[in-house]
Amino acid sequence: MKQLHVELGDRGYPIYIGSQLLKRADLYAGHIKSKQVLIVTNETVAPLYLDQVLQNLQPYQVETVILPDGEQFKTLEHLSRIFDKLLAAKFSRNATLIALGGGVIGDMGGFAAACYQRGIAFLQIPTTLLAQVDSSVGGKTGVNHPLGKNMIGAFYQPQCVLADTDVLDTLDDRQLAAGLAEVIKYGLIRDAGFFVWLESHIDALRARDKQALAYAIEQSCRNKAEIVAEDETESGVRATLNLGHTFGHAIETGAGYGVYLHGEAVAIGMCQAADLSLRKGWLSRQDVERIIALLRRAGLPVNPPAALDAERFLELMAVDKKNLDGKIRLILLEKIGKATLPIYVDRSLLELTLNTYGRD
Amino acid sequence: MKQLHVELGDRGYPIYIGSQLLKRADLYAGHIKSKQVLIVTNETVAPLYLDQVLQNLQPYQVETVILPDGEQFKTLEHLSRIFDKLLAAKFSRNATLIALGGGVIGDMGGFAAACYQRGIAFLQIPTTLLAQVDSSVGGKTGVNHPLGKNMIGAFYQPQCVLADTDVLDTLDDRQLAAGLAEVIKYGLIRDAGFFVWLESHIDALRARDKQALAYAIEQSCRNKAEIVAEDETESGVRATLNLGHTFGHAIETGAGYGVYLHGEAVAIGMCQAADLSLRKGWLSRQDVERIIALLRRAGLPVNPPAALDAERFLELMAVDKKNLDGKIRLILLEKIGKATLPIYVDRSLLELTLNTYGRD
């Protein structure tokens, strides 16, 4: 088992990474300070892993909320079901919430924990690669609003994260690839050495080699943890984590939620950001091709949907959360391993990328 | 104008107290860092004070949400209306929210500010005495759940509080008295000198003498600010602010929401706590009579509703947020000016108070 620590003073916490973690009763016991435990999970994950988790929680008074699976249920309305259960069971402010699932469950469980009686303890057990390397680190929690993703939420840190590589065995190939998009992002924005490692281990990762996965998760979490420790509430360097995301959100919305997975849309967005970085004179054509090649080998799409033209892209990018004032700021790459802070991009240059990259 | 500072490090903020503050454009300008401003108020306060506030905000892009007036609307559902407006107006994370109203508006506006894009700035303009001396200090925000009051919320501090004594002119006598209950509470729990001052100025306060009101608000806020600075998240001394509240919540729920004002129920609860403190041998009979006399002179009820018997009281007290494990902890008085931390009280002693105090 590997262990990382997210350095956030008295809100700091450990991330455990490895095989067989779900069965480690000692890890649960070390981070649960009360009798009352609520597990929040979903209809897909519950039949696979809920029993394994429950077996470690026999000393506790355990309640469970099983939500429907999907981003479309990440709403205030479904969040209420968690509060309903906590209150019906008369859980006190000493209770502990365990979020067992992917990013949606982690975001909702964490936000429920942040709000219930103004804050109770919570543990994250991410069950997708994406959640293990991204949403489980950094304390961003929340739900969607019909007018925008993640618009309602809190910064709230867990007691610990259990990233068990065994749960990735039940993840389908497409979900695994979507997680790899965020893994590759860490190489691109701040860790050229990791990018090179990924170029030589991408096949092992797709074959679910446990050792390779544990290393990739560790490096991803370490990179993210360092960024978050430096800038918890995203006033500076944390914004670099959004590489490809403004393009990506436009693709997700434009194609209709559910057509692209988040990681897939981000993969395409990172290619567009790379293309734009080439036009700025920062990346070489060869750099861009390396990036596209690695994403392709990870099983990810790299070209924007044909139906989404430049005009519609611009419209959707302007309503991204980071651009609510109508101006578009983007994260670009100065080189592989170094991202810019958010910058305003010349509109004609952006249109060039939108009109030509991946449009052949 | 008086000015206090709530000492919470980088979350600290000033409280301005005095006459004519609503018209001080400089106070708004000094605490609003962005172009976008949302005012959250209600149907009662808007016709009285919204225009006055708006006149100071001409340089800004201002939107307004007017909620229905009443505790029954302090729900997640009505909170959503604030998010709807923020998003429809495309407000960014740099926007500022102004909560203009009593405790319900302050709690909802503050919670909306805490959650919108994981936190935007907010200003509190409390328009009731209760809100000026209580809910506007300390950062407790939130909404009710059908199964319990203030069960969903956050600790979130404003940029500043404007406590304008002029707005108390439009407060009816009953609401003013309800605010005085919490003012008297500060004297009881930690400031015997203030309690004595209140005994000699209670008539001036009821007559809305501006100078007396400003002094009472200042001393109340100072006492609360000191407590909150010591214990922001209520792990210790902050609990003393709940003097009379466990009894009070039982009265509010037992009589049906809306029959008693919060301050009225707390006044009765403080008398019950005083009676129990007498039975513990801490307060003298004369102390208890001084407390009852001051609350009566403030225009407050001091006897529990006849229909609420001891058994029902116990039932309701056991489901108070602080007692979700079914055990009843109470704040009592060691003397006038010194409260205990929450203590378990012998059930037979508690029943004695419930059966006999105010039951003649």
For B30-47, the pLDDT digits (tens) are 999 999 999 999 999 999
Q: Please report, for the domain that includes residue A229, its CATH number.
A: 1.20.1090.10
Q: What is the pLDDT of residue B264?
A: 97
Size of chain A, expressed as the number of residues it contains: 360
Contacts of A51 (CB under 8 A, 6+ apart): none
Name the nearest CA neighbour of B99 among B42, B153, B24. Answer: B42
The minimum CA-CA distance between B33 and chain A, rounded to whole Å, is 15
What is the Cα Rg of chain B in Å?
Answer: 20
What tokens does A78 get?
């479904």
B50 pLDDT more than 70 = yes
Given the residues B31, B140, B279, B322, the one annotated as active site: B140
| H or E stretch covering B213 | helix B210-230
Residue ranges of chain B whose CB lies within 8 Å of a chain A CB: 76, 80, 83-84, 87-88, 90-93, 114-119, 140, 142, 145, 147-148, 151-155, 233, 319, 321, 324-326
Instruction: Please give the mean pLDDT across all residues of chain A.
Output: 94
A285 pLDDT more than 90 = yes
In angstroms, rounded to a whole number, what is the distance separating the alpha carbons of residues B93 and B188? 41
A212 shares its domain with A343: yes
In angstroms, rounded to a whole number, what is the distance separating the alpha carbons of residues A336 and A356? 22
Contact B119 A87 (CB under 8 A): no
Residue B40 · residue B53 · CB < 8 Å: no
Q: What is the pLDDT of residue B323?
A: 61
The minimum CA-CA distance between B117 and chain A, rounded to whole Å, is 5
A140 shares its domain with A243: no
The amino acid occupying position A172 is D
B138 shares its domain with B164: yes
In angstroms, rounded to a whole number, what is the distance separating the alpha carbons of residues A98 and B65? 36
Local structure of A329: helix, strand or coil: strand
Q: Taking the alpha carbons of B105, B110, B111, B113 in that order, is the dihedral positive or negative?
A: positive
Q: What is the pLDDT of residue A324?
A: 55
Q: What is the pLDDT of residue B135?
A: 83
Residue A136 pLDDT grade (very low, low, confident, very high; cuts 50, 70, 90)? confident
Contact A87 B148 (CB under 8 A): yes
B99 shares its domain with B197: no
Task: Kindly state the greatest CA–CA separation across chain A.
Answer: 63
Residue B232 · residue B156 · CB < 8 Å: no
Task: Determine the straight-line distance between the first and last CA of chain B, rounded to whole angstroms.
Answer: 46
The minimum CA-CA distance between B123 and chain A, rounded to whole Å, is 19
ipTM of the complex: 0.90
Local structure of B286: helix, strand or coil: helix
Q: What is the pLDDT of residue B67?
A: 98
Local structure of B173: helix, strand or coil: helix
In angstroms, rounded to a whole number, what is the distance separating the alpha carbons of residues B352 and A95? 32
Total structural domains within chain B = 2
In angstroms, rounded to a whole number, what is the distance separating the alpha carbons of residues B200 and B193? 11
Query: Which of A115, A140, A151 lies closest to B87 in CB terms?
Result: A151
- How far CA A101 is from CA of A43, A46, A71, A95, in Å, comes to 10, 8, 12, 19
Residues facing residue A13 across a β-bridge:
A6
Range of the domain at A195: 173-356
A96 pLDDT more than 70 = yes
- How far CA A293 is from CA of A204, A267, A290, A297, A301, in Å, comes to 16, 11, 5, 6, 11
Name the nearest CA neighbour of B52 among B18, B86, B36, B28. Answer: B28
Residues of A belonging to the active site: 118, 140, 182, 224, 234, 238, 242, 245, 249, 262
B111 shares its domain with B150: yes
A179 shares its domain with A164: no
More confident residue, A323 or A276: A276
Q: Could you give the percent of chain B with pLDDT greater than 70?
A: 98
**Structural domain ending residue among the three candidates B108, B137, B170:** B170
pLDDT in tens, B197-230: 999 999 999 999 999 999 999 999 999 999 999 9
A119 shares its domain with A207: no
Name the nearest CA neighbour of B317 among B261, B219, B242. Answer: B242
**Structural domain ending residue among the three candidates B139, B170, B201:** B170
- How far CA B160 is from CA of B9, B13, B121, B138, B210, in Å, comes to 14, 5, 10, 11, 21
More confident residue, A187 or B323: A187
Contact B142 A93 (CB under 8 A): no
Backbone angle region of B117, left / alpha / beta, with phi > 0 → left and psi within -120 to 50 → alpha: left
B155 shares its domain with B192: no
Residue B289 · residue B254 · CB < 8 Å: no
Q: What is the pLDDT of residue B99?
A: 98
Burial tier of A161 (Cβ tally within 10 Å: 0-12, 13-18, 19+): buried
**Structural domain ending residue among the three candidates B151, B170, B189:** B170
Contact A116 B148 (CB under 8 A): no
A201 shares its domain with A284: yes
Q: What is the pLDDT of residue B304?
A: 97
Burial tier of A318 (Cβ tally within 10 Å: 0-12, 13-18, 19+): middle
Query: Which of B87, B153, B325 lies closest to A115 in CB terms?
Result: B153
A257 shares its domain with A344: yes
The minimum CA-CA distance between A112 and chain B, rounded to whole Å, is 8
A301 phi and psi, to 5 degrees? Answer: -70, 150
In angstroms, rounded to a whole number, what is the distance separating the alpha carbons of residues B224 and B238? 9
Residue A135 pLDDT grade (very low, low, confident, very high; cuts 50, 70, 90)? confident
Local structure of A30: helix, strand or coil: helix
A183 shares its domain with A280: yes
DSSP A209-224: -HHHHHHHHHHHHHHH
Residue B346 pLDDT grade (very low, low, confident, very high; cuts 50, 70, 90)? confident
Q: What is the pLDDT of residue A323?
A: 61
In angstroms, rounded to a whole number, what is the distance separating the alpha carbons of residues B207 and A227? 57
Query: Which of A93, A116, A148 lies closest to B152 in CB terms?
Result: A116
Residue B53 · residue B113 · CB < 8 Å: no
Residue B122 · residue B139 · CB < 8 Å: no
In angstroms, rounded to a whole number, what is the distance separating the alpha carbons of residues A96 and A228? 24
B163 shares its domain with B187: no
